Structure formats: C-alpha cells, structure tokens
Amino acid sequence: MKKIKPHHNFFMEKAILEARKSSSGEFKIGAIVVYRNKIIGRGTPKDHITLNPVKHAEVVAIQKACKFLKTNLLHGCSIYVTAEPCLMCSSIIFQAKIPIIVFGAKRSLLPLRKRDVSIHDLVHDSGYNPEIVSGILEEKTLKVFNSKFKCCTKK
Ligand SMILES: [Zn+2]
C-alpha cells in the first residue's frame, strides 16, 4: 500500500458528494476521475434506472472522462471511488490504464458486496502496476454506503 497523500482526502470528499446524489434504488457509491487536479468525470450507479447492468459509478465516471479527453486511455488520471470497485469495474479501470486507484471502503466491509476476490488479487492479471490506495475516509464512505440499507430497513 502506498502512502496516503492529503489530496486523496480532498478528492474522496468529492466522491462522497457524488455518492450522496445516487438515485433511490441504486447503491450509494460515487466515483470521480481526476486529471491534472481537475475533475473530468463523475458518476453514481445508473444500472437500475437505465436498465443497463454495466452502468456502475466507476463506468459512468470513466465514460465521461474518456469523452472529455477524447480517448479510451486515461494514462494521466486518477480515479476515486467511495467503495472498492467490483470485478467488472476493476477490469474497466485496468483497460482504461488509470495509473492511480483510490477507494474508501473495502469490499470486505460492505453489506451484500463481500467477496473473496479483491482489486489487489485482480491487478496481478491486469498487465500493469497501478498505485492502489485503500481506506481513504473509510468510516465516512461506509456510512454513506450503509445509508441505503438504513432507509430500506425502516419500511
Ligand atoms: Zn462495479
């Protein structure tokens, strides 16, 4: 694990703001793509409202960043995600060659998302060596993620 830098907290706060905007029925996850200290892609999950299973927060943010930079490769970018990316999103992040991946809550801590395979296991198969920073504002990102479940259990 790499050393935590102050700007990681700053951009994770921005990702948390996105997560809070998640539509009802979606997971409370936010993702942003940063290029030269500027946010060029933002995303919340859209898979339920678009009826498209690939529209996770990370994918939405990556698609916007690719459109902004007019490329499918995001070499100079970082991605910040409030929760550890799933297998699909990890693969897409690797395909986009994003060199810095920062996330809040680890999958092992998330309700309904606990899996044995982590992004660290997948990176060995990706063909490149991104910097992965985990646990940024973990408590806060978990609280946002779990807010969906608190609201659902009240019914
Ligand atoms: Zn995903």
Q: Which of 58, 84, 131, 138 is catalytic?
A: 58
Q: What spacing in Å lies between the alpha carbon of 2 and ligand 1's midpoint?
A: 23
The number of C-alpha atoms within 13 Å of 147 and in the hemisphere containing its C-beta is 16
Q: Whole-model pTM? A: 0.90
Q: How far is the CA of 43 from the centre of ligand 1 (A)?
A: 11
Q: Cα separation of 108 and 50, whole Å?
A: 27
Verify whether residue 58 is a known catalytic residue. Answer: yes
Integer Cα distance of 21 and 60 in angstroms:
14
Centroid of ligand 1 to alpha carbon of 4 (angstroms): 23
* Token code pair at residue 110: 């998330």
CA 95 to centroid of ligand 1, rounded, Å: 14
SS3 label, residue 81? strand
Query: Which DSSP letter does residue 136 get?
Result: T
Per-residue pLDDT of the chain (155 residues; tens, 9 = 90+): 556 687 999 999 999 999 999 988 888 999 999 999 999 999 999 998 899 999 999 999 999 999 999 999 999 999 999 999 999 999 999 999 999 999 999 988 887 766 778 888 888 888 888 999 999 999 999 999 988 765 544 43
